[in-house]
Amino acid sequence: QYDVLIVGAGHAGAQAAIALRQNKFAGTIAMIGDEPEIPYERPPLSKEYFSGEKAFERILIRPAAFWQERQVEMLLGRRVVSVDPAGKAVTTADGETIGYGALIWATGGKPRELPCGGHHLTGLHTVRTRADADRMLAELDGVTRVVVIGGGYIGLEAAAVLNKFGKQVVVLEALDRVLARVAGEPLSRFYEAEHRAHGVEIRLCVTVACIEGEDKVTGVRLSGGAVVPADMVIVGIGIVPAVQPLIDAGALGGNGVTVDSQCRTSLPDIYAVGDCSQHSNRFAEGRAIRLESVQNANDQATVAAKTILGIDTEYDAVPWFWSNQYDLRLQTVGLSTGYDATVVRGDPAARSFSVLYLRDRRVIALDCVNSTKDYVQGRKLVVEGAVIDPARLADASVPLKEMAG
Ligand code: FAD
């Protein structure tokens, strides 16, 4: 029995425990995680950890001693399979029952699998955990050709690292541009050109029929019948939120567990935070969305912790995100979905520029490539939903901070 039980030892789970202790919570806290490691940062798995620039110890969210000192009990290598909201207890796959006063569900998601199967084959990978990254790294020596399925951030980041390792990389994207779900066309075209300039082949509007291979992958068959040969295949087509036990227990939700602005689920004393939760977000015009970002995981976890402590708070944070590919640092703020115009500021050819997204003339989001100044200064425009003449926004000689109201 713990006063606060956190399920999921990732970004959101870790931050929930940190925020509880920061706000002087003196009760018992335990964190149950199905991975063997104490919480670590996931973004480096397709960046600095994958490339070898950072060792695992350097991507821990906090060192082991931190959790001991703060008396956060780590119950690792255990998976919660059911929740009993009336009895206020969870059950693990080993049959252990653990009681709680408040439950914070912070389970993230599992990589979406290809509908055509093939995930049992050696050489086929997804990138979500340290174990996933280590498995890929262990195989790399014997690999020449890699096919990445999915031109989203994770797929493109992995492609950039593999390119640096000297592998021949082909990215297969079903839509007509990479990053189509998260960015506007100017940004997509820029990244396609960058990858191609580095020698990565980007193939758009292609769908995968099946993965070829007996025990080990040998290629990817496209729906037209052509086969792209591969020694390794990385599937980066999104995640499925890990919420079944909560849904089975009666929580409202579908694509994630539904939470209110205090991160409460529809079940008493159960909160959900991070990638697994769905909330209505004012930066998405109040639509119910699921955000997959460190920002959202941390901010929601802090809100849940404070709410448990009776501190008046509400989730209203502006979304932000980043991606590193080659020597390009992308920083984004706001949500660009639903934009009706874009403004490019600076020169993509100079590899330092920003794309501003407008809806009804308001600035709703900003994607900044090697342009931290715009990112920092433009944040305010997004928070305020500023209305600014597009010609002025495009004038890179005028700092964005001079445009804020
Ligand atoms: P997670 O960090 O996934 O933690 C959930 C934990 O719960 C996992 O350990 C999971 O195994 C465990 N779990 C699940 N079910 C159970 C269960 N039933 N019982 C016990 N434990 C369970 N975000 C950014 O903002 N910027 C980036 O550049 C970026 N890059 C990324 C690159 C990669 C390769 C990946 C995978 C993600 C990236 N993200 C990035 C997204 C970011 O990592 C996630 O948004 C963040 O990890 C979400 O935190 P979370 O706590 O909700 O989930």
pLDDT single digits (tens) 78-99: 999 999 999 999 999 999 999 9
Euclidean distance between CA atoms 232 and 350, whole angstroms: 34
pLDDT of res. 404: 76
* Residue 215: how many other CB atoms lie within 10 Å: 9
pLDDT of res. 190: 97
Euclidean distance between CA atoms 240 and 199, whole angstroms: 32
Whether the CB-CB separation of 366 and 358 falls below 8 Å is answered with no
Q: What percent of the chain has pLDDT over 90?
A: 97
Average pLDDT, the chain: 97
Extended beta strands in 142-244, E state: 145-149, 168-172, 201-203, 208-213, 217-222, 227-229, 232-235, 239-241
Place of tokens 């934009």: 339
Helix, strand or coil, per DSSP, at residue 74: strand
Helical segments of 143-184, H only: 153-164
Residue of minimum CA distance from atom 19 in ligand 1: 79
The closest alpha carbon to 390, from 360, 368, 351, belongs to 360
Residue of minimum CA distance from atom 39 in ligand 1: 43
Q: Are strands 239-241 and 109-111 parallel, antiparallel or unpaired?
A: antiparallel
pLDDT of res. 295: 98
Which atom from ligand 1 is nearest to the alpha carbon of 10? 4
Euclidean distance between CA atoms 302 and 244, whole angstroms: 24
Half-sphere exposure of residue 241: CA atoms within 13 angstroms, side-chain side? 24
Residue of minimum CA distance from atom 12 in ligand 1: 8
Euclidean distance between CA atoms 18 and 3, whole angstroms: 15
Extended beta strands in 281-337, E state: 288-289, 320-325, 328-334
The closest alpha carbon to 172, from 144, 146, 137, 198, belongs to 146
pLDDT of res. 118: 85
pLDDT of res. 268: 98
Measured in Å, residue 400 CA sits from the centre of ligand 1 at 33
Any ligand 1 atom below 6 A from CB of 292: yes
pLDDT of res. 119: 83
Any ligand 1 atom below 6 A from CB of 38: no
Helix, strand or coil, per DSSP, at residue 328: strand
Which atom from ligand 1 is nearest to the alpha carbon of 274? 52
Measured in Å, residue 42 CA sits from the centre of ligand 1 at 6
Which atom from ligand 1 is nearest to the alpha carbon of 14? 51
Token reading at 120: 């049992």
pLDDT of res. 346: 95
Euclidean distance between CA atoms 225 and 394, whole angstroms: 45
pLDDT digits (tens, 9 = 90+) for 29-70: 999 999 999 999 999 999 999 999 999 999 999 999 999 999
pLDDT of res. 14: 99
Report residues of the chain scoring pLDDT below 70: 405
- Whether the ipTM is more than 0.90: the answer is yes
pLDDT of res. 260: 98
The DSSP code sequence of 282-335 is GGGTT-EE---SHHHHHHHHHHHHHHHTT------PPPEEEEEETTEEEEEEE-
Euclidean distance between CA atoms 213 and 300, whole angstroms: 43
